[in-house]
Each structure stands twice: as structure tokens, then as C-alpha cells.
């Protein structure tokens, strides 16, 4: 399945049949984040029913095989920071800025209006 053909949750699940149930749940929850919104690793962990698994969420998203279709760039730390290596963090920061998200001092300025 090529990236252009992934349009629905069912497509995401089909493309990830080799992943664990947890990883699929994380990718599906992330797929649902609309353009112009952000979420946090903690919120994704809560959405998949594993509220303490925010580090595992970050690890799964670090290996995201469907980026940017599954928009892992829209998931940040609870303080608005972009984790991971500097190059990856810079890419994610520029992607959310292009989508209209406000960045202050290198972090997302989290507000109820943009939080998904």
C-alpha cells in the first residue's frame, strides 16, 4: 500500500498489520489529529487506554512508518517541546508552524484552542 492511498482509519490499520496492537492504536489516534491542532504523548496514551504509557507512545511515534500521513509531527511533550534528535525536532517544529501552530522559544504554545 502506497502512502497516497492511505485515507481512512481502515487504510492505516491495513498498512500496519505487522505492528503491535498498541502501535496500531497509537498510529490511529495520531492519524485523527487534524491539521492546525496538536496533542501530547500523554494525551495519546490516555486516548489508547494506557495513561502511563506516554514514553511508549513517544517510542512508537519515533518509529512511525507512515509519516507524514500519520502526523506524528503534531504530537509534542506536555510542555510543548519537540523531543528526539535535533534534526527531527526541527523538522516537526517547521511542519506544525506551516500548519499555523504558534511556536515560542522553540516550543508549542499549548492552548485549549489547538489541543486535540
Residue 94, domain member (yes or no) = yes
Residue 75, domain member (yes or no) = yes
What pLDDT, on the 0 to 100 scale, is given for residue 5? Answer: 87
pLDDT, tens digit, for every residue of 40-78?
999 999 999 999 999 999 999 999 999 999 999 999 999
Domain interval for residue 63: 3-105
Q: How far apart are CA 64 and CA 48, in angstroms?
A: 16
Residue 44, domain member (yes or no) = yes
Q: Name the band, by pLDDT with cuts 50, 70 and 90, for residue 84.
A: confident
Residue 115, domain member (yes or no) = no
Residue 68, domain member (yes or no) = yes
Q: How far apart are CA 21 and CA 26, in angstroms?
A: 9
CB 26 within 8 A of CB 61: yes
Residue 116, domain member (yes or no) = no
Q: What percent of the chain has pLDDT over 90?
A: 91
Q: Please state the domain count of the chain.
A: 1
What pLDDT, on the 0 to 100 scale, is given for residue 1? Answer: 67
Residue 21, domain member (yes or no) = yes
Whole-model pTM? 0.93
Residues labelled catalytic: 72
The half-sphere exposure of 104 on its side-chain side, counting CA atoms within 13 A, is 5
Q: What is the CATH number of the domain that holds 43?
A: 1.10.10.10
Residue 114, domain member (yes or no) = no
Amino acid at each position: 500500500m502506497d502512502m497516497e492511498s492511505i485515507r481512512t482509519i481502515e487504510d492505516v490499520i491495513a498498512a500496519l498489520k505487522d505492528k503491535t496492537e498498541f502501535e496500531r492504536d497509537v498510529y490511529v489516534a495520531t492519524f485523527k489529529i487534524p491539521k492546525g491542532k496538536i496533542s501530547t504523548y500523554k494525551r495519546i496514551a490516555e486516548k489508547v487506554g494506557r495513561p502511563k504509557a506516554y514514553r511508549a507512545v513517544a517510542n512508537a511515534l519515533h518509529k512511525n512508518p507512515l509519516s507524514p500521513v500519520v502526523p506524528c509531527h503534531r504530537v509534542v511533550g506536555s510542555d510543548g517541546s519537540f523531543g528526539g534528535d535535533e534534526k527531527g525536532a526541527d523538522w516537526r517544529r517547521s511542519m506544525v508552524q506551516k500548519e499555523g501552530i504558534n511556536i515560542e522559544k522553540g516550543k508549542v504554545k499549548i492552548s485549549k484552542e489547538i489541543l486535540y
